[in-house]
Structure 1
Amino acid sequence: MAPKRPAETDPRATLRGGLPDRYLTPEDIAALLSVPLETVYAWRKKRAGPPGFRIGKHLRYDPTAVHAWINTLTEAERDAA
């Protein structure tokens, strides 16, 4: 059996090397940002987190939109300093 590539085991490793070639799950977002899964769902409810969308009953996030959302947070921090 071939060993797993780091990108398959850790979504953060994928994003460091470039955007993943798939939509992210809430679990991926929680792992990427090192926050509890409940936080990701609370952000969605408050419309405070990265924009997500539904495919049937499944919630997904576009990696490009997640990256843009993170950039807005870091820019806001920079502007506040």
Structure 2
Amino acid sequence: MSTTVNLPSLLNQQEVANYLDKSIAWCERARWDGTGPRYIKVGRAVRYRADDLLAWIEENAHRHSGQRGN
């Protein structure tokens, strides 16, 4: 009997940078200072789960310009 497993989508740094309209350097800096989306290290490669990226976007949503993120 076969079991189907739904694995999360993993995005690389370039894909995340393109999606957010940011540079790879921004991704690296945000990872270093802890302000970016959660990430996973697979050996030396950095990967981002699509769900973590979407959660980070939601956490940084604002209702007005004077509001700061959580």
Give TM class, smaller chain. 0.7 to 0.9
Of Structure 1 and Structure 2, which has the larger fraction of its residues in helix? 1
**Structure 2 residue runs without a partner (length 5+):** 1-7
Structure 1 residue 78: deviation in Å?
1.5
Matches within 5 A, 1:1-20: none
Q: Which residue of 1 aligns with 2:53?
A: 66
1:5-57 CA-partner distances (Å, limit 9, x unpaired)? xxxxxxxxxxxxxxxx6300010110001111100000000010000010111
Of Structure 1 and Structure 2, which has the larger fraction of its residues in strand? 2
Q: Percent identity?
A: 22
Code of the aligned partner of 1:65: D
Separation of aligned partners in 2, 1:40 and 1:56: 18
Code of the aligned partner of 1:62: R
Q: Which residue of 1 aligns with 2:16?
A: 29
**Structure 1 residue runs without a partner (length 5+):** 1-20
RMSD: 1.7
Moved segments of 4+, more than 6 Å: none
Q: Which residue of 2 aligns with 1:17?
A: none
Q: How many residues align?
A: 59
Separation of aligned partners in 1, 2:45 and 2:12: 8
Relative contact order (alpha carbons < 8 A, sep ≥ 6): 1 or 2 greater?
Answer: 2
Code of the aligned partner of 2:13: P
Normalised by the size of structure 1, how large is the TM-score? 0.67
Matches within 5 A, 1:23-62: 23-62=10-49
